[in-house]
Amino acid sequence: MSGDDAAETPPAGALPVMRKVGAALLLAFCCWHAVFLLASIAPPKNAANGKPNTALALYKLFVSGPQQWNLFESIPDHHWLDPRIVVEDSRGGRTTVGCVLPGFTAYPRPEKARYYNLFFRLLTNAERPSFFAAYLRRVEAGLPARHDGALPGRWELVVDVEWTRTLVHSRRDGGLYVPATRSFDVANPRGIVR
């Protein structure tokens, strides 16, 4: 299996009892983990229907990792993502602040992969909406400090997106992307099309 045969020497013969027990445990772990890895080659099925096994889930959490290697399985539909917070002042004017906490700093440019993952998952991950709700609450709680303790008007998280068009349409007229804008706040975590 390994091709290392020429370099092999047989395992040491007589071992103390404790070392033998240790070696047996190590061998048992290696056999189990190797079988587990080989079984992981088949892509995992959607576990939505069945209750996950707790022991296996613990093993995946602490030892093996989830073994979900769906690298580049799907392509991002986005070409451009620009999240920011827009605050209305008392005179009806609008000011823009960054969406990154702490400090309401701007979404990084050039874009960083981890920030894209973060905001893409916050905005689209229907399985874990509580992260986004908590983020919106934090923004709501943090904004007054930037305005002398009281917010002058309403605020919203505005996200400009450019969606990639299908190749068929792009080849027909040369247009590559379609812009869209949604806004979110505590009362509208699913967003409103603008």
Partner 1 sequence: MPPLAAWLRFPARLFFRQVDERIYAAVRMGFAAVALLNLLFLWPDRQVFFSDTGLIDADVAQAHGYPAYFSIFAFARSAQAVSCYLLATAAALVLLLVGVATRLAAFWALVWQLSYIARAPLVTTGWDMVLHVFALLLVVSPPGHCWSLPALLRGGGKARPAQVSAHGLVLMRLQVLVIYWQAVLTRLTKPEPNFWNNGDFMSYFLLSHHARWPGPWVLEFGPLLTLATYTTQLAELAIPVLLWVRKTRWWGALLGCSLHAGISVFTRDIEVFSLAMMMTYLAFLRAEDFHAIPDRVRRWFARRA
Q: Interface residues for partner 1 in 116-175 (CB under 8 A)? A: 116-118, 121-122, 125, 128, 130-131, 134-135, 138, 164, 167, 170-171, 174
49 lies in the site for partner 1, by CB under 8 A: no
Residues 6+ apart with CB under 8 A from 18: none
Q: Cβ closer to partner 1: 116 or 152?
A: 116
Rg, C-alpha atoms of the chain: 26
Q: Cβ closer to partner 1: 87 or 122?
A: 122
Q: Which of 21, 47, 101, 145 binds partner 1 (CB under 8 A)?
A: 101
CB 191 within 8 A of CB 183: yes
**Distance between alpha carbon 8 and the CA centroid of its chain, in Å?**
44
9 lies in the site for partner 1, by CB under 8 A: yes
Q: Which of residues 29-48 bind partner 1 (CB under 8 A)?
A: 29-31, 33-34, 37-38, 40-43
Can you give the length of the chain in residues?
194
178 lies in the site for partner 1, by CB under 8 A: no
Q: Return the H-helix or E-strand segment holding 114.
A: helix 113-124
Phi/psi at 170 (5° precision): -65, -40
74 lies in the site for partner 1, by CB under 8 A: yes
Please, what is the minimum distance in Å from the beta carbon of residue 150 to partner 1? 21
> First vs last Cα of the chain: how many Å apart?
60
110 prior amide bond cis, ω within 30: yes
Please, what is the minimum distance in Å from the beta carbon of residue 149 to partner 1? 18
Q: Which of 13, 70, 148, 150 binds partner 1 (CB under 8 A)?
A: 70
